[in-house]
Amino acid sequence: MPEKSTHKVHPAPDWLTSDYVQEKLRIYFKNSSLKLENLDTKPAVANGGNYGSVMTRINVEYTTKEVKDKQVTTFLVKTTFADQDPAGDVLIHYGVYTREMEIYESILPQLADMVRKELKDPRKLFAATMDVDRKRDSIIFEDMSLDHYKVACRRKKLDLEHTHLVLEKLASFHAAASVLAERQPGIFAKNYDRGFFNKHTRAYGKIMTNLLEALSRSLSSDQELGPRYKDKIDRLIERLMDYGERSTTNSPGDFLTLAHGDLWTTNFMFQYDDKDHPKNAIFIDFQFSVWNSPAIDLHYLFATSLQDNLRFEHQSELVQFYYYKLVEALKKFKFSGTIPSLFDFQMQFRSRGFYAVFCSLIFEPVMMYEGKEEASLEQVLSNSESAMRFKDSVYEPEAVKKKLSVTLSFLDQFGLLDEM
């Protein structure tokens, strides 16, 4: 059965008309005779919903002068939230819309070309861009489900085979971005410094602290975890944004790249072979991409998307696996910068360790939410009765409490819950 979404579903934008789509199709297919015969739109909400955008799937039927029979295909349209939506009020401070449009229009095509030609990897790395409309803050790109790509189950998470594939493709992406920055100095100088934590804005702070406060309330009645961790979480609420900004501040000598910034199961898709083994993975949703350490992507991925035994028992091995793939790709690209040693890279990974705290304690429980309350950024920001029920219910399930007992202990042993 399909997953029941408790996330707010937004209607297709009013401007997404037949005339508009026909014009874009004519440009994309380079055929002015194309005639749109039918247009059908419906929400395209991935597992876990969309907290930062509106996704619409458009089904189109068209004919051309050369081919009279109807051609049928689909595309995905990504747009901003409505102007009055509280999510938009938060996200606008991060430049997410203009950044992602630039990435899809300019950056991703170059990276894909580099990987295909220089790494000799013919597999897709991203969805192809059909159109970028800056006036309407929208992107239209190919529907990867047509090639049988699909997202992994956010509840089951990734096993070792899927994890290795994501890390391999991530290393190619990171290596290509670093080399692109070397070849085109300044290409990431503007609008790529606003991840979830940055020196420009703390608009996301209320979202994070409201959820941490809900975690604190849940610990109040937990006789096992409360005495050990509630005081630490309460102190963390006050210092969260300071620690987060510190954890993403780059130091001289750090290896840097374009980090995806929001790397969890909904933001990559897999294609499978006849025996149901994953043969390729692509990345989607680049709203929070940021020029930073690749370690933030690793922490985010490990904390939100890996099966527990991989995250808690094999983390260093997975960092090593990624590192070797990164070095291999950098050498093929003839990267002239300094490639860190494995020891230095592991240290860089540890220095970004606080990134795992907010991913583990805030984002992952929300990503796993299956309760009855509406799940949206508006609910996280609000103090209404319904909003408080939602935030508290995020931490109520037994599965979440069981996972938190392991996660809190794991983070605590690295000093990530103590004063830093």
Each residue's pLDDT tens digit, 141-172 = 999 999 999 999 999 999 999 999 999 999 99
Q: Is residue 368 included in any domain, yes or no? A: yes
pLDDT given for residue 144 in this prediction? 95
Lowest-pLDDT range of 66-70, 142-146, 242-246, 295-299? 66-70
User: To 10 degrees, the CA torsion angle through 142, 54, 298, 183?
Assistant: 60
**Where is 21: in which H helix or E strand?**
helix 18-29
Range of the domain at 170: 83-126+156-420
Angle of helix 315-332 relative to helix 160-183, nearest 10 degrees, comes to: 40
User: Which residues are paired to 278 by β-bridges?
Assistant: 272
Provide the number of structural domains found in the chain.
Answer: 1
pLDDT given for residue 87 in this prediction? 66
- Quote the pTM value: 0.92
Q: Is residue 69 included in any domain, yes or no? A: no
Residue 310 token pair: 């991989």
Q: What angle do CA 82, 83, 86 make, to 5 degrees?
A: 85
Give me the chain's average pLDDT, please. 92
Cβ neighbours for 170, distance < 8 A, ≥ 6 positions apart: 260, 263, 283, 294, 297, 301, 322
CATH number of the domain to which 234 belongs: 3.90.1200
Question: Is the pLDDT confidence value at 103 over 50?
Answer: yes
**Cα–Cα distance measured from residue 94 to residue 108, given in angstroms and rounded to the nearest whole number:** 20
More confident residue, 375 or 6: 375
Decide: 363 and 304 in contact? Cβ < 8 Å: yes
Question: Is the pLDDT confidence value at 286 over 80?
Answer: yes
407-417 per-position pLDDT tens digit:
999 999 999 99
373-417 per-position pLDDT tens digit:
888 888 999 999 999 999 999 999 999 999 999 999 999 999 999
306-347 per-position pLDDT tens digit:
999 999 999 999 999 999 999 999 999 999 999 999 999 999
Question: Is the pLDDT confidence value at 350 over 70?
Answer: yes
In this structure, the number of other CB atoms found within 10 A of the CB of residue 195 comes to 21
Q: Is residue 23 included in any domain, yes or no? A: no
Decide: 125 and 282 in contact? Cβ < 8 Å: yes
pLDDT given for residue 2 in this prediction? 37
Q: Is residue 349 included in any domain, yes or no? A: yes
Average pLDDT over residues 219-230: 96
More confident residue, 173 or 81: 173
Question: Is the pLDDT confidence value at 47 over 70?
Answer: no
In this structure, the number of other CB atoms found within 10 A of the CB of residue 235 comes to 13
Pairing outcome for strands 35-43 and 138-142 = unpaired
Q: Is residue 141 included in any domain, yes or no? A: no
Q: Is residue 74 included in any domain, yes or no? A: no
**Cα–Cα distance measured from residue 340 to residue 255, given in angstroms and rounded to the nearest whole number:** 7
Pairing outcome for strands 71-79 and 35-43 = unpaired
For residue 391, the SS3 value is: helix
In this structure, the number of other CB atoms found within 10 A of the CB of residue 402 comes to 10
**Cα–Cα distance measured from residue 112 to residue 130, given in angstroms and rounded to the nearest whole number:** 15
Q: Tell me the residue length of the chain.
A: 420
**Cα–Cα distance measured from residue 7 to residue 374, given in angstroms and rounded to the nearest whole number:** 6
User: Which residues are paired to 138 by β-bridges?
Assistant: 79, 133
Q: Is residue 18 included in any domain, yes or no? A: no
Average pLDDT over residues 89-94: 80
pLDDT given for residue 9 in this prediction? 55
Share of the chain above pLDDT 70, in %: 94
Q: Is 323 exposed, middle or buried (0-12, 13-18, 19+ CB in 10 A)?
A: buried
- Separation of first and last alpha carbons in the chain: 46
Decide: 203 and 251 in contact? Cβ < 8 Å: no
Lowest-pLDDT range of 49-63, 103-117, 225-239, 338-352? 49-63
Q: Is residue 49 included in any domain, yes or no? A: no
pLDDT given for residue 181 in this prediction? 98
pLDDT given for residue 1 in this prediction? 31
Decide: 305 and 297 in contact? Cβ < 8 Å: no
For residue 74, the SS3 value is: strand
